[in-house]
Structure 1
Amino acid sequence: MNAISTSPIRTFAALCSVAVLGLSTTGCMGGTGMSPAMTQQASAMHHFAMAVHMGELEEAQLALSRTQNAQVRAFAQQMVNDHTIGMHMEEQMAMSMHMDDMGNGSSMSGRASMVGTGTTTTGGGDPLAANGGATRQTGSSSSSAGNGSAMAGGMPMPMDPEHMQRMRAELASNPASRPVVEDHMRGMQMLQGLSGAQFDQAYMTRQVGLHRYALEQMDRMMSEVNMGMGTSGGTMDHGAMTSGGAAGGGSAMNAGAITMGTREGMMTMHMQERQMVAMHLQQAQQIVSSMR
């Protein structure tokens, strides 16, 4: 990956009470009719998407700690919101499809979706065992992975730092996500040496490039999986994605259109993520143009 440009954002907020996702504990990959080749492609898509979400989240958090620019701050906050929710959704899908059985390294599904503090798991140490569910506890509230909400007071819950560290190590070991992780680490090192207007310009320019790259790779991967499923890219439910409103309002994804534990649900989720990335790209480009 090369250093990059900017992208505009659409809020994931209304999207995502993960409760709507209806996690299935019986939907392992073998039950979805996916061939070994398709399973491998699905694993690559999952790892790539997780690496994108993780990188965007961490770079946005850095931007929030550095920028004094109102546009950049609003963009970075939306990135934190959207990519945190995207990460939770990917983990929910991975758990529902038992993606830890996939090749090329362990999946994020092998870890409960840990948010905040007090995270526990049921069914022994394996969140995929028998009843399949991690139990999430944040404050006094507790919910199963199948019904849990990724939102707290209308905002996505933060990812647990230890979980993020383990995730980064796993993603760095997977060939589908390694290039994204390596570019992210280089980008963070570069951004940490900047401040003021120089930081804002570099961060937003990088965002354009990152989202453009993500869009290209998602299109390629989805095309490969669609071919394996016997469907063309145009036959899936593109209408599942809403156009949303301005940043900070509206919905970037329609969680109710996603059926967990199925290959169709997986593709719908990735198509919604793809459209979210496209909207992020457009917004980032607009911000970069306004800086000239």
Structure 2
Amino acid sequence: MHAPLPDSHYVVNREAGGEERLDTALDPTAQADVAAVVMHEGMAHVCLLTPAMTLVRAKIDMQIPRKRKAFTSQHEKGIQRFLDAVSAAFLRHVNFNVIKCVLIASRGFLKEQFMDHLLKYADAQGKKVDNKVQNLISDGYVEFFQITTDQRAKFMLTHSSSGFKHALKEVLEDPAVAIRLADTKAQAEVKALNTFFELMSTEPDRAFYGYKHVCMANKEQAIETLLLSDSLFRSQDLATRKRYVALVESVREQNGTVLIFSSMHVSGEQLSLITGCAAILRFPMPDIEDEALSDEEHP
């Protein structure tokens, strides 16, 4: 390897949109929208799942006394310490502002036992936190350690053969889990698409699709929610990809919401039927349709 020459200057060119991918690389947890706990008595892994990787955030490995007639209480105390440790790790690492689904997997009834223990543990910890400490808790992490009713709906209990990390693979291969994850990940997208189609019927001047119409709305900073199919970013044409990356960045700069639809999900298929590019506007813009028609009449 050669050392760089003195006073050498280097220029690094990054493709448009690369900043977002760089941010993801620096903090992959920002893209982790699924949390998972795989466990058996004495062993648990608390993981965060991104589209590209599994991040182990905590490993709990504890010796639990065997359950014997004369030592039942020791066994129960060991289980309680173990569940306390897993609960503490879970609350430390799971951000419900990002997480859309939580998988709790074990053999037998340990998963149900842990779920019940987690809720009680979170409630008990919340009561211990005074007002000064509450103000220091990061936004998004279980507020005051409480798990709300809405957050409880994100949990799914399922089977795993063990608490080792590799058991997560069999959990994710379960058809029921796969369906739940697909629907959960697309939840915001499905809701936005339903809103879009509803507006097309009730307030058509706030719902437009097609790159041309959407760009016209964007120039007026009118886009509240941008809906795009991920297939647009896989186009063979580099100019097309850059065009949509620029659109995404512009909408975000104007504090608009950007939703990327998976073409593998039914919501993405529906969006693709209307060009794969649509927008819900902050306010009506009837002139968009008129200008588009005028352009077609006078090319």
TM-score by length of 1: 0.30
Q: Which has the higher contact order (CA 8 A, sep 6+)?
A: 1
Which of the two has greater strand per residue? 2
TM-score (norm 2): 0.29
Structure with a larger share of its residues in helix:
1
